[in-house]
Amino acid sequence: GAGVSQSPSNKVTEKGKDVELRCDPISGHTALYWYRQSLGQGLEFLIYFQGNSAPDKSGLPSDRFSAERTGGSVSTLTIQRTQQEDSAVYLCASSVTSGGAETQYFGPGTRLLVL
């Protein structure tokens, strides 16, 4: 079946522009995560959606970052007024829980480069 997809796969933008990153989770997965990985760095948690519950936005790096998940499915991560330090790979993962065990599936990521 189809896995987690993300678009665009690559994005080059100019400093100050807004960008929107999209994540299509696996159908039926109720949980969705956004992470960021800067070059040569570890993963940084950004935000987590579970069902219809309000997400914790405290992991977002700044108020320029926002995320939505419409209808419990597709999610968009928006970065306003991009800065060079926003350059990173943005990863989305969706998960399913069965018998108390959670299994996550990652998308291929969006490579963002802010010039």
Partner 1 sequence: GQNIDQPTEMTATEGAIVQINCTYQTSGFNGLFWYQQHAGEAPTFLSYNVLDGLEEKGRFSSFLSRSKGYSYLLLKELQMKDSASYLCAVRDRSGGYQKVTFGTGTKLQVIP
Min dist. Cβ of residue 74 to partner 1 (A):
19
> In angstroms, rounded to a whole number, what is the distance separating the alpha carbons of residues 67 and 46?
9
Chain contacts with partner 1 (rule: CB under 8 A): 33, 35, 42-45, 48, 50, 55-56, 58-59, 89, 91, 93, 100-109
Which residue number, 82 or 109, has a Cβ lying nearer to partner 1?
109
Residue 91, strand partner residues:
35
Give the dihedral sign, CA 57/63/68/74. Answer: negative
> In angstroms, rounded to a whole number, what is the distance separating the alpha carbons of residues 112 and 67?
16
Which residue number, 36 or 79, has a Cβ lying nearer to partner 1?
36
Min dist. Cβ of residue 14 to partner 1 (A):
25
